Structure 1
Amino acid sequence: MNTDNRATDELINNWQQVNAEVAEACKQSHRHIDDVKLLAVSKTKPVERIKALAQRGQRDFGENYLQEALEKITQLRAEAEAEDIVWHYIGSIQRNKTRDIAEHFDWVQTLERDIIAKRLNDQRPDNMTALNVLIQLNIDDEESKSGCTPEQLPELIATVKGYERLQLRGLMIIPAKADTDAFARTKQLFDEVRQAHPELSSWDTLSMGMSADMTEAIAEGSTMVRVGSAIFGARD
């Protein structure tokens, strides 16, 4: 077996194992497997590996680095096996990046400011469906992390839900490792928003949990886990 085939087999085995772990976490938490989506975080990984997973049914892929992502998206959308990929932008967003993000991605998980929301809305092409967005919440109020604070959340939601080309779907967090109840607190906030805004029928996504803590996140109500290293191995 050559090196490429061996690497592909390892990739598929990893992906199948992660899916099995998600299924087991759902079973332990008395949740249906369809309630939790696996986002394969493919930053720094070559298009061949993304394509290999897409051929086996993985639909959602997350990218952090815009220029790298645009090259992958352009290449893979021309290939039949990968044209149905759903692309999630999960990196930080500067103002000069919003047009490319609005024009090429299906989801944005790192919305934290109104000015970025307005630019994404204004720059989303008319011939595309609304851009799915998650508000990144800085649940621990860490200075080194992006995201709006829980106190800022109501105002940002009130603004974003008014943009016609954005579909507000929920929250995303990257909690501090020492914060053992961040998932539970975020789920509580998520539910409070749902109660306060019954008109937000699209409010259905809680993106929390990664390779090391997805079981705990699923137990607390996550609907999307973002997994990179457990599928693709260490970052290149």
Structure 2
Amino acid sequence: MATLVAIGATLGLSASDDGNATAPHVVPDGHCEHSGINSDGGIQFLANCPQSSLSPDGRWKLIQTSPIGAEEVYDVVIETPDGKLVGHVPDLNDHMPFALYWSPRSDWFMINHYRGSGLQRPRVFQITGDRVIEYADFLRTGEDKAREISPCLPSDDKADWMTGDGLKWSRDGSKLAWAFRTRIDMCVFEDPAFSGPIPPDKQGRSFLMISDVATGKIVDGSVRLLPDDEKWRFPTDGPYRGF
């Protein structure tokens, strides 16, 4: 593992009550005091700091196992409190930090998964009787909305330009408020559609939205452009009243 790792939960936009952004910071690998409950209520997991988190109603436990061997192989699983394996949480054993946010519906949870190079992605999962299911349609819908707002973004789904921050669950646990961002090098250089650098009003914009996590649809009236300096407060009007 790299000597230094960035804490995923502090990248970009936080889920704090005032909605103001917090700056990213880097901590030495092995400093497990940075794991555990963080300031926005999430549970921070670091690869070499095994720990677990019990769902609010006590039905489920997310466990990050201890790394083993020279390759530090580990797993992230869901178990019942008595130790019965329910399922593996896919692609979280990549040695990258992540933060866990349980939904008010305890069989759902959200992960802010740090992916390196300043990129983070919110991921949503449901726990069923015998497996863990990921719901990713809200990300694809968010990407489509981002292209609508910022046409300079790539149309290629394979391009790794999407990043974002899951912020808050709705009180009924069915919807997620999250902020869409993109890589800092997107939409700022010359483009064949322009005679020079892309104008500021055509560059990528960050925005806030609410997604129905089961259907992936964006809730009407929830898309809000965010200021470039990321100084903002979490809305309390319209569909945001349910948070």
On whether the aligned pair clears a TM of 0.5, the verdict is no
Q: Give the greater-gyration-radius structure (CA).
A: 2
TM-score, length basis structure 1: 0.30
Judging by fraction of residues, say which structure has more strand.
Answer: 2
TM-score (norm 2): 0.30
